[in-house]
Amino acid sequence: AQKVTQAQTEISVVEKEDVTLDCVYETRDTTYYLFWYKQPPSGELVFLIRRNSFDEQNEISGRYSWNFQKSTSSFNFTITASQVVDSAVYFCALSEARRGGGNKLTFGTGTQLKVEL
């Protein structure tokens, strides 16, 4: 069975600090996909990134960066120079590519990030 663990329930930082959100996953499949979603206070879920299991290159998008390491089954998310608008709950998710699996996502429990002035 697939599982996603986000051990950090809540993180508080001061604006401009860097912050890393951890994600560890479990799967028996060799082909799978990892995602990060953001849920701001307004409640909607916003897609941030998708990564497949064959692509271990780190990715950077503005102040956001992701570190995927298959050896440790981790897919961590770093926000550089955090801003108040980054305050949200961040979810890591896993999808297995097999018949009937479709792109059904298993979500972690989320990390509440609070960025204060």
Partner 1 sequence: DAGVIQSPRHEVTEMGQEVTLRCKPISGHNSLFWYRQTMMRGLELLIYFNNNVPIDDSGMPEDRFSAKMPNASFSTLKIQPSEPRDSAVYFCASSQGTEYGEKNEKLFFGSGTQLSVL
Give contact residues for partner 1 (rule: CB under 8 A).
33, 35, 37, 43-47, 50, 52, 91, 95-110
From the number of C-beta atoms within 10 Å of its C-beta (0-12, 13-18, 19+), residue 38 rates as middle
β-bridge mates for residue 37, sequence order: 47, 91
Q: Which residue, 50 or 114, has its beta carbon nearer to partner 1?
A: 50
Q: Residue 31 CB, nearest distance to partner 1 (Å)?
A: 9
* DSSP for residue 98: S
Q: Which residue, 19 or 89, has its beta carbon nearer to partner 1?
A: 89
2 phi/psi in degrees, rounded to 5 = -90, 150
Q: Residue 46 CB, nearest distance to partner 1 (Å)?
A: 8
* DSSP for residue 53: T
Q: Which residue, 79 or 92, has its beta carbon nearer to partner 1?
A: 92
Q: Residue 75 CB, nearest distance to partner 1 (Å)?
A: 15
Q: Which residue, 28 or 117, has its beta carbon nearer to partner 1?
A: 28
3-state secondary structure of 113: strand
Of 49, 50, 42, 51, the C-alpha closest to 89 is 42
Q: Residue 104 CB, nearest distance to partner 1 (Å)?
A: 6
